[in-house]
Structures are given as C-alpha cells and as structure tokens.
Structure 1
C-alpha cells in the first residue's frame, strides 16, 4: 500500500461529506498501481494522486463537483504527456467522483493511519458507498442501499483480502449490483536489529514478499523505527545486547509484530530484565521469542523462512499446521 498519510489527513477532517475520485475503468498507460485515490475535503484540501498526476486538471475539477453529487469523466492522455508523467504509454480512463460521508471517511482514515487493511466499495454510479476496515475487514461504515448488497460487498472484499495484495476492480456482485472496489493492503516494513547471515536472509525474504526491509544497527535508529510502527510492521531483534531491551519496551507501547532471536537462556535473561523494568506479564506475551515456527530450520535462509512464517500466521490469527491436516477452507 503506497503512502496514504496525506489522504488519511484529508479524510479525517470535519463533519461534512468529502469527495473522492477513483479510476472506474482504464485502458493503456501500461502497468498502473491499484488503489488510486484522490480526496477533496469540504475545506478544499486535496490529498492523493491519480495516474502520476497526468489527469490532474480533470480529476481536481471532478473532485470539486463530487462533494455535492456523483459524476463520471472520460479522460485521455497523449503519449508525450503520459511518458512525461512517468506512465509507460498513452491511455484513457473513466474517473468516478462521488461524495463520501464522514463516518466511512474517518474509518478509512483511521485504517490508513494504523496500517490495517481497508476497502472502499461504491456503486458504479457513485450513488452510495461503504468502507470496510480492520485486520479481517470486520468493521463496516456506510451502506450501498440494501442489506443484501452490503453483505455481498463485504464477502467479496474479504475474498480479495486473502490474495494479500492491493487491488482495484469493477465487479457485479452476486446481489446484482455494479460496484467499484478498492482494497488497500498495507505493505509491512521489517526492521531487523543486528548484523549477520540471518539478517541478510531476512532481507531476501522481505524482497520475495514485497515487504520493505530496514537494518537498524544503533539503539537510536532502532527505537525511532519501532516507535513509528503500524499494525503491519515487524521487528526482528537479532542483537542480544541488553541495551536493545529499550527497543522492545518502545514496541510494547505501540503496534506491530515484535520478535527476538536467542536461545532459551537468552530469552529467560531478557524476560527477567524486562520484568525488572516494569513490563507486565501480559505485555511480555506480545514478544515472540525465540521468534519463528518450529520448521526444523538449520540454515540462515531456513531460519528466515520460519520467522516470516510466524509473522504471517500471527497476522492471520492461525495456529500453524500442515494444510493436509486442515479441516477449514484452504487459503481462507
């Protein structure tokens, strides 16, 4: 999920309806990142960008009108203008602008700020919309007009969530409604504290998963990174220096996955130090240590796989087991 801080700021403002402009359909432009969103506040503030700004004139004009009523604009960009904006080639897009009430707007803003999944579903004519947010998309604000349509929209968004990627699609729901769905999945940042072969292997795993990877070798750098964590972010503490206990204490005051390597003896010593520093037993339960699933890992690469596997299992609320022994829906 691209940086949506500016979008969240505009969405969170005021009690009046905001306007959002989204890509309803497009052709050309090459590969385009999904989840494109432009937001206009009641105070005129703008946040976000569509198609690298190539359609700024049309999009901003549509946003101003869309605070009062939905509308659709057909926009086209010539080859030279598209390439100058950073797009691969010329193309055209159908832009949908529509009002968004305060409650779903704030729900989206909170989800973007926390770094949890969020979906915005609207009728293709912009006449109604709802926001679905949370780790399992379990909170709903707004309505598409009928309970059956809302239920179908939520079910569809949750199916998309299992793909684990941000997506934009126009679809006809089972209830017969033509809707535009934007689902934003946060991209985790993995912060690894300490050097070595496991740190390098974790960097490779982060690359495979499309996660952002950061190495932090100083206490100040690590502490600042963890203090800024969202729910999606991951700490892997490799360095056993007791000074880095401070990073775990900072993490326990915020969000994200906290993992620490080390033998059981190292873990026990760290636990006693943290208890002595005022950390509670309940808080200690948030620290995954020794971090990783019991996969029989022996090499740094295998250890890295076990670590990211525990992160994925924790985020999905699963107790890991072999798929062949699973009784529930595979991939659910």
Structure 2
C-alpha cells in the first residue's frame, strides 16, 4: 500500500473510498515483486499495477467487490495449462495478492494516511498486516515508525505487536525483502498466523565524484533509477548547480573528506569519475573500507593498474581491493557521456539484483534474480542503531515451478492450499512474509 505515491495519498486526501491490492509474495516468473500495488476508487479509476497486465482485470474485479463488501481478501493466481488465456499468469508464475478496502472511518484508513504522509517526507515507516489467520483478525494492521513507536495493532496479543514491530524495524534496517519465522517463545502467536510487512525507506544514495560531463549524464540516469544523487568535486568552478540541475546536492569539497563525514549505508553507490590519482587514491582509501553496496572508478586499464598499485601502497587489503569495480561499467561499446552513464547504471543494477550482464537471448539464466541483503548502515543520519535480536532476513531459496492450475485463495488458511511462494527482493518499498508458529504450550 506504500507503493503508489503521490496518487494514493491524493485520493485519500480527497475523501475517496478506495480498495488497494498489494502483492504479498511471488513464485516462479512473476512480472512484479512483493509490494507492487494497484488501487481502485468507486468511480472505477485505476492507478498502479500488480502483474504488468496478466491478472489486472481479475484484481480490478476483486477491488470493486471489496469496495462493496468492506471485507479484505487474499487471492492466489497461477498458470493454467488447460487455458493459457484464463485468469492467470501465462508466464508460469504464482502471485498472492491482498485486497484491502480503505473506507471512511476505518482504522486502516487512518494508519495508511499516516504512513503515506511519512513516506512523502522521506521518513522510514512499515506496515504489518494479518494476511492469513483467524477471520476476526484478518486485515488487522500495525504501523511502525522508524524510531520504533507504533500506531494501531494486530488485536491478538501485545507480545505479538512487539514482535511484529521488531521485525518491521529489521526490514527497515536491511532495506530488502526476506522471509523469517518467528520463534513461538513469548509471541503468543496463533497457529498459522501470517503477517505482511510493507516497509518504505528513504531512497538510496548515489554519490558521484568528479564534476565532468559523464557525471551530468550519470546524475540523470541515477535519478531515473530512484537514487538520491550527490555530486562532489573540489573544484568550485566546475561544481555548480547550474551544471547539474537534476542533482539533489552539489558539494564543493575534497572527495575523501566529504565521504568521511557524510552518511552512507548498505544501499549507497559510489561512482568515482575523476580518474586523477590525487583525488582517486585518498578517496578510494576511504570508500573501499565502508560497507556500501557498490564502489566503481572510471579510467583506462593502464590507469586502473597504476591506481591498484597506489592503493596497495596505502595499505588496502586484497579483500578490500576486490570490491573495486574498475574500469566501471559493462562493456556496451558506448562512447558518449549518455552511453557511458548507461553502461555504469547497468553494472549497478546487475550488482544490486544479482544479474550476469549477459544478453537474455540464449543465456538460459533467470530473468528475475534474488538480490542479497546489504550491509547494515554506517553513520546514517539520525544515528539510530539497527535493531538486533531478530531472525535473519536473507531471502529463501526460490520455490519450485508452480502447478499447472489457476487457484484462488481465501481469508482463512485452507488445509489443501499450496504452500505460499517465497518472497522476492524489493527496493524502496519491500515486503516480508512472516509466518508465526503456534506456542509449544
């Protein structure tokens, strides 16, 4: 529900009743990942998408139904061998979708308005919602702020709210999707209860060092990919907002000094485009010791060899040097600043999503890869330490291919229902499917 901003926020501000469909989990080759959202108002206006077109019509009907009944529903869509044009995913995937009516004077509406307001301000927030379990609590929602405070509740037991809040904070710290099983000790969690945790974090940072033409093109691509982009260079004559109007920040400072003092985390991308030893070496000496997602440096292979020697001389280890992507970018054969920026962005995406960089034609590799959980934050603004004492958020192994059937789910668990597919990793808005086991008592 946190995916469609500002449209959904505007709808709620106008007082519209809406139904929101959110992808809970996917298996196989599904077009969109967990957290993807489609919303419908009473006039039939649609925003968003949950499948890229495969099941949009069926989900639209479910939203219209939810607006009439006022009841939430969890549905499963899969592939049908008998009729490839039936309601289902002809790409062979399995998709679980939660449809929630957001009507006037309902608790979920107030919580969603609060969450979307926080998202619009760039504040971290998560929503935990019961998607499988006792009918009386189906759709119950807990809103978790970045500082750990909460609104609403799951309506089952206070210990469960505290456990759900801890998992939501872990999802915010990790910035990625994963599945975890909660320990029954002290959770008082009913049998088969499943939570959907949607989290929204501020956009990841891309810091571009070097106020050159290639940087201007990379800034534009970085913004397109959803990064908060900063340009940093020590030369004030070149480092001006007029040259980089799309950048969120333009900083005049020595790159290594700026990097030491700014906030970075496990999603941060560092692109060094100066290819000048007096800038590169002290900067990379700092960058390669930080737990960031990506460090790349521009330059010829001769420049890279010389830079590698200098970095060894300042004491960087083999493990630290192995993190450097240099020369930066994939081999696309590009020459212009725009083509070079595309090459750099392609390597960043491949690194983030676990891609190979090979053409999909004839490669036989998965189209959708599972991304890894990034390192925890380092000197992040605000100083909040990542939460501890919760289960690992690493994604599970990919589920087996789905059975050749199109199946609908139900609000309460069914003994014959196939196992829920494992979640795939998201980016800015992420989802964690959390299964609670019954207490041993």
User: TM over 0.5, yes or no?
Assistant: yes
Q: Secondary structure at the match of 2:139?
A: coil
Per-residue deviation, 1:65 = 2.3
Partner of 1:35: 35
Q: 1:40-51 residue pairs with structure 2 within 5 A? A: 40-41=40-41, 44-51=44-51
The answer to whether the 8 A contact 1:70-1:127 is kept is: yes
Per-residue deviation, 1:9 = 3.9
Q: Secondary structure at the match of 2:99?
A: strand
RMSD between aligned residues: 5.0
Partner of 2:323: none
Q: Does 1:192 align with 2:211?
A: no
Structure with the higher fraction of residues in helix conformation: 1
Q: Indicate how the Cα distance of structure 1 residues 139 and 48 shifts in structure 2: closer, same or farther if over 3 A, else same.
A: farther
Task: Name the CA distance, whole Å, in 2 between partners of 1:170 and 1:181.
Answer: 13
Partner of 1:118: 125
Structure with the higher fraction of residues in strand conformation: 1
Partner of 2:236: 241
Tell me which structure has the larger Cα radius of gyration: 2
Higher RCO, Cα 8 Å, sep 6+: 2
Q: Indicate how the Cα distance of structure 1 residues 23 and 107 shifts in structure 2: closer, same or farther if over 3 A, else same.
A: same
Partner of 1:140: 150
How many residues align structurally?
A: 268
Per-residue deviation, 1:176 = 0.7
The answer to whether the 8 A contact 2:71-2:100 is kept is: yes
The answer to whether the 8 A contact 1:10-1:39 is kept is: no
Q: Indicate how the Cα distance of structure 1 residues 140 and 216 shifts in structure 2: closer, same or farther if over 3 A, else same.
A: farther
1:144-186 CA-to-partner distances (Å, cap 9, x unmatched) read 2254332222111112223221457797883415222222344
Partner of 1:62: 62
The answer to whether the 8 A contact 2:231-2:251 is kept is: yes
Task: Name the CA distance, whole Å, in 1 between partners of 2:390 and 2:139.
Answer: 34
Per-residue deviation, 1:257 = 7.5
Q: Indicate how the Cα distance of structure 1 residues 163 and 109 shifts in structure 2: closer, same or farther if over 3 A, else same.
A: same
Q: Secondary structure at the match of 1:165?
A: coil
Q: Indicate how the Cα distance of structure 1 residues 78 and 52 shifts in structure 2: closer, same or farther if over 3 A, else same.
A: farther
Per-residue deviation, 1:13 = 3.2
Task: Name the CA distance, whole Å, in 2 between partners of 1:46 and 1:39.
Answer: 6
Partner of 1:22: 22
Task: Name the CA distance, whole Å, in 2 between partners of 1:170 and 1:112.
Answer: 27
Q: 1:195-214 residue pairs with structure 2 within 5 A? A: 195=211
Per-residue deviation, 1:298 = 3.7
Structure 1's unaligned 5+ residue stretches are 200-213, 264-287, 321-327
1:239-293 CA-to-partner distances (Å, cap 9, x unmatched) read 522574658xx99xxx978755329xxxxxxxxxxxxxxxxxxxxxxxx963325
Partner of 1:277: none
TM-score of the pair, normalised by structure 1: 0.59
Structure 2's unaligned 5+ residue stretches are 103-107, 133-137, 263-279, 293-375, 392-441
The answer to whether the 8 A contact 1:132-1:138 is kept is: yes
Q: Does 1:291 align with 2:291?
A: no
Partner of 1:301: 284
Partner of 2:253: 261
The answer to whether the 8 A contact 1:237-1:260 is kept is: yes
Q: Indicate how the Cα distance of structure 1 residues 114 and 56 shifts in structure 2: closer, same or farther if over 3 A, else same.
A: same
Q: Secondary structure at the match of 2:161?
A: helix
